[in-house]
Amino acid sequence: LFTVLAQTVASSISDDFGNLVGLAVFLPGLAVHVRRMHDTGRSGWWVGAFYGSIVVVIVSVVVLIVDAALDFDDFANGTFASDDFFGDNVSAGSVAFVGIATLAALALLVINFVFLCQRSKTNENRFGPPPPPKVL
């Protein structure tokens, strides 16, 4: 909640400042996310898998855009095969890959959310003992 509020306030000041604040809170948020996974007895690689899937989606969308631009260039030059909507069928594969990568990212998002909502392990796990309770 703090990160959302901080980014909203910073973005209202300036877009560049909002981007800097977003970058500044990303690494601590990532550390908290991994620590929470460890508290539930799971590996931090679940977090890495989620962010990795986001990178795969972004790269595949860029490949799709480049491929579509090349197909449009072929169409504009008159070298586009009229009987084959997707040209050399690379676009069909790109669209399918973007869809599969997006579904994988959404599945990992739901999995991470469920893991983060679960209770911490009260006994020691492979990442060490749980933190001691705080006394006020």
Q: Which has more pLDDT, 102 or 76? A: 102
Q: What is the pLDDT of residues 41-88, one digit of tens each?
A: 889 999 999 999 999 999 999 988 887 777 676 666 666 555 555 555
pLDDT at 66: 83
pLDDT at 11: 80
What are φ and ψ of residue 37, in 5° steps?
A: -60, -45
Mean of pLDDT values over 107-124: 89
Q: What is the pLDDT of residues 1-44, one digit of tens each?
A: 677 788 788 888 888 888 888 888 888 889 999 988 988 888 99
Is the pLDDT at 107 greater than 80? The verdict is yes
What is the residue extent of each domain of the chain?
A: 1-28, 40-117
Query: From CA 76, how far away is CA 1, in angstroms rounded?
Result: 49
